[in-house]
């Protein structure tokens, strides 16, 4: 929004040329200095001036004709104002100047406070002339030269009483009076308590009469529609009932309905609809791309991202050469600077998937596969993950721990889904028994059919506090979802095959919980080489899900997908586009991601970028994505300039 300020102004009365000796008009000159956003303005501006009788009265006495396209140079301008001959009558007047850009049709912006109009020299002379003595005047007619009207032009011979008066005609002397048969004399008394006014006499006296029914008693007051509190038989109070006055009872053309919503982060309020809902629009912005870690080593694979309690992103990823786990803590919301820490030097060489979550104490926790092939958790000792992290062995089985995903339950306890590759592969869940995950975790096998299952797991916490997990059935090439029976995911989970077409589907799954509590999953269709989204029909993800192909060009898109729910409640998905070897983002058109999504190419250099994408919604409501630049072996971050990443 542009901000204007009026620094200097002066009012100059327009004076006629001395040679012409003409009479002054009612116009005067106004000069001022205009600043825009703290700097002297330059260009053409529309100006409007209105006159008030006080600094705060909202009703203007009048406005001068608008001055369009006034040239302003280095903040200075001059305009002529004319409020007519009746605007200034010797009393205080306040001038309000309003301004807008010359090319705009928007409303004017008032310059406050209003300015007191000070008297000019010619006005002071006029004020003195109004009190000049008779003998000080020039040009007096001859008949008034001695101060006495010597010839009034006639004499009154008779005065008659017109309508409403009585007493005439008068030819010499007499009295005129109000005719009380037509005009009521002032009422001179009133009725005592217990009597009512029955008549007003011509002379202003009143006639009173006792209330013939003053002895009545109210025995009960009932409440009608929209009220509560009755019936009252002795004492009590009546109030408007909850819901007694709603949209059905008001005319929204005359009464504004209660404002029932607000604008989400990264949007601005454009207006209020008649039903009280807010009209919001996205803030404009530009996507910022930053290389966060670029050592000699190959880094950035297996990246995951979360938002710390301080509102700043924190990213886990893999250093391929050092075979170590690293964490980057962003210094700002766009991650244009970061603190990089090597957290663990014992990583399984080919297991590059990491997963990060922030505990209720603000400390990041990362799940990964250790050098022996088991599931580990690294718990940072600071929010920035600097210092020596605590390394915790969760499941030491040599084939367990790959494709892990970590979340923090509503009870504050970490819960991790992962693949155990023994016997072809099955899905496991580890629930930590304390917030630090320092004790022995509770290990549960969630799905172990004859098929090889549990690949590409992703975990989220449902609205009921129970984990829900998406994963790939490798044998059937289908997308499955497991809904845990409790917060620890012990007992029998509800397992559902969500998508099972003729195509091979379900790889690179990512899961989030929509605002209505239903899981929504992004994943890759191997056969069609397309990005798909499944919106579950209920919080348990049982029954038929709504399946949508979100992006499907002639060649592959959708690998390494990651999904989050935007500040407006709509899913947003980052993914790798093999067709152009670039990073893309899809912004869904509704909560179920049906219809046409908004597809944006975020990073598309000549290099291969966009693998191992992970997306989160920043504290400012804007998406932020961590991903790998394979060509340069670097970790990159893209901060979207608006909610759709366009």
Give the Cα separation of 19 and 440 in Å (integer): 105
Distance separating alpha carbons of residues 233 and 278, to the nearest angstrom: 45
**Mean per-residue pLDDT for 279-301?**
87
Higher pLDDT, 216 or 78: 78
Instruction: Calculate mean pLDDT across residues 478-484.
Output: 98
Query: In which band, very low, low, confident or very high, does the pLDDT at 17 lie, cut at 50, 70 and 90?
Result: very low
Residue 195 confidence (pLDDT): 84
Q: What is the DSSP letter of 143?
A: G
**Cis ω on the peptide bond leading into residue 231 (within 30° of 0)?**
yes
CATH classification of 288-639 is 2.120.10.10, yes or no? yes
| Statement: 4-128 belongs to CATH 2.60.40.2060 | yes
Domain-by-domain residue ranges, the chain?
Answer: 4-128, 255-284, 288-639
pLDDT at residue 200 is higher than 70: yes
Res 599 pLDDT > 60: yes
Which of 180-184, 333-337, 437-441 comes out lowest in average pLDDT? Answer: 180-184
pLDDT digits (tens, 9 = 90+) for 203-262: 888 888 886 655 556 677 887 766 787 788 777 788 787 777 777 777 877 777 788 788
Per-residue pLDDT at 111: 86
Beta strands in 53-205 (DSSP E): 62-63, 67-72, 76-82, 94-101, 109-116, 165-166, 177-178, 195-200
Region 370-388 average pLDDT:
93
For residue range 545-583, list pLDDT tens digits in order: 999 999 998 889 999 999 999 999 999 999 999 999 999
Burial class (CB in 10 A: 0-12, 13-18, 19+), 553: middle
Between the alpha carbon of residue 514 and those of residues 539, 563, 597, the distances in Å are 9, 11, 16
Residue-level pLDDT at 237: 82
**159 pLDDT exceeds 60?**
yes
Considering only residues 359 and 125, tell me which one the structure prediction assigns the higher pLDDT. Answer: 359
| Confidence at residue 615, expressed as pLDDT on a 0 to 100 scale | 98
pLDDT recorded at residue 589: 96
At 16 the pLDDT is 44
CA distance 465 to 408: 10
pTM, full prediction: 0.61
The pLDDT mean for the chain works out to 87
Residue 308 has pLDDT above 90, yes or no: yes
Q: Does residue 372 carry a pLDDT above 90? A: no
pLDDT for the residue 153: 58
pLDDT > 70: percent of the chain: 88
What average pLDDT does range 312-338 have in this prediction?
Answer: 95
Mean pLDDT of 593-620: 95
Percentage of the chain beyond pLDDT 90 is 56
Q: Three-state DSSP class for 281?
A: strand
User: Is the per-residue pLDDT at 14 higher than 50?
Assistant: no
């Amino acid at each position: 929004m542009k901000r204007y300020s009026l620094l200097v102004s002066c009012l100059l009365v327009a004076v006629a040329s001395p040679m012409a000796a003409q009479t002054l008009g009612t116009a005067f000159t106004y000069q001022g200095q205009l600043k825009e956003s703290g700097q002297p303005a330059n260009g053409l501006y529309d100006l409007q001036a209105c006159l008030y009788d006080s600094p705060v009265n909202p009703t203007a006495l009048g406005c001068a004709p608008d001055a369009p396209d006034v040239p302003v140079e280095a903040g200075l301008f001059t305009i002529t104002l004319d409020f007519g001959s009746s605007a200034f009558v010797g009393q205080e007047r306040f001038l309000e100047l309003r301004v807008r850009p010359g090319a705009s049709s928007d409303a004017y912006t008032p310059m406050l406070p209003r300015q007191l109009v000070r008297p000019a020299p010619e006005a002071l002379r006029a004020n003195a002339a109004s009190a000049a003595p008779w003998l000080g005047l020039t040009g007096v007619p001859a008949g008034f030269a001695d101060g006495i009207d010597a010839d009034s032009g006639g004499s009154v011979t008779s005065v008659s009483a017109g309508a409403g008066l009585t007493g005439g005609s008068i030819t010499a002397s007499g009295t005129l009076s109000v005719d009380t048969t037509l005009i009521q004399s002032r009422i001179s008394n009133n009725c005592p308590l217990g009597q009512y006014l029955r008549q007003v006499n011509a002379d202003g006296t009143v006639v009173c009469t006792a209330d013939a029914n003053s002895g009545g008693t109210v025995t009960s007051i009932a409440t009608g529609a929209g009220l509560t509190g009755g019936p009252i038989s002795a004492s009590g109070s009546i109030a408007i009932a909850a819901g007694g006055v709603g949209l059905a009872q008001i005319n929204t053309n005359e009464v504004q309905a209660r404002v029932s919503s607000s604008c989400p982060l990264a949007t601005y309020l454009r207006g209020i609809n008649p039903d009280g809902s807010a009209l919001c629009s996205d803030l404009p912005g530009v996507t910022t791309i930053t290389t966060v870690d670029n050592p000699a080593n190959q880094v950035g694979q297996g990246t995951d991202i979360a938002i710390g309690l301080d509102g700043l992103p924190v990213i886990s990823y893999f250093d391929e050469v050092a075979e170590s786990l690293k964490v980057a803590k962003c210094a700002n919301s766009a991650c244009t600077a970061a603190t990089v820490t090597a957290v663990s030097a014992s990583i399984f060489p080919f297991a590059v998937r990491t997963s990060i979550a922030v505990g209720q104490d603000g400390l990041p926790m990362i799940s990964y596969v250790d050098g022996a092939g088991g599931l580990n958790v690294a718990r940072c000792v600071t929010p920035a993950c600097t210092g020596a992290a605590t390394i915790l062995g969760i499941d030491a089985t040599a084939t367990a721990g790959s494709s892990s995903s970590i979340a923090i339950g509503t009870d504050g306890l970490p819960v991790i889904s992962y693949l155990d590759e023994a016997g072809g592969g099955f899905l496991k869940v580890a629930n930590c028994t304390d917030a630090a995950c320092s004790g022995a975790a509770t290990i549960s096998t969630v799905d172990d059919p004859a098929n090889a299952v549990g690949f590409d797991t992703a975990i989220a916490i449902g609205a009921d506090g129970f984990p829900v997990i998406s994963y790939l059935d490798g044998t059937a090439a289908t997308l499955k979802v497991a809904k845990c029976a409790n917060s620890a995911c012990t007992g029998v989970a509800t397992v559902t095959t969500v998508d099972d077409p003729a195509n091979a589907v379900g790889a690179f799954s990512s899961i989030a919980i929509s605002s209505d509590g239903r899981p929504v999953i992004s994943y890759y269709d191997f056969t069609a080489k397309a990005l798909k989204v499944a919106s579950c029909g209920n919080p348990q993800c049982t029954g038929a899900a709504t399946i949508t192909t979100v992006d499907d060009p002639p060649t592959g898109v959708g690998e390494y997908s990651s999904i989050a729910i935007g500040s407006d409640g709509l899913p947003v998905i980052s993914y790798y586009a093999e067709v152009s070897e670039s990073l893309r983002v899809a912004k869904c058109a509704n909560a179920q991601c049906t219809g046409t999504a908004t597809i944006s190419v975020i990073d598309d250099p000549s290099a291969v970028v966009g693998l191992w994408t992970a997306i989160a919604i920043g504290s400012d409501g804007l998406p932020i994505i961590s991903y790998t630049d394979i060509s340069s072996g670097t970790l990159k971050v893209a901060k979207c300039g608006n909610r759709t990443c366009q």
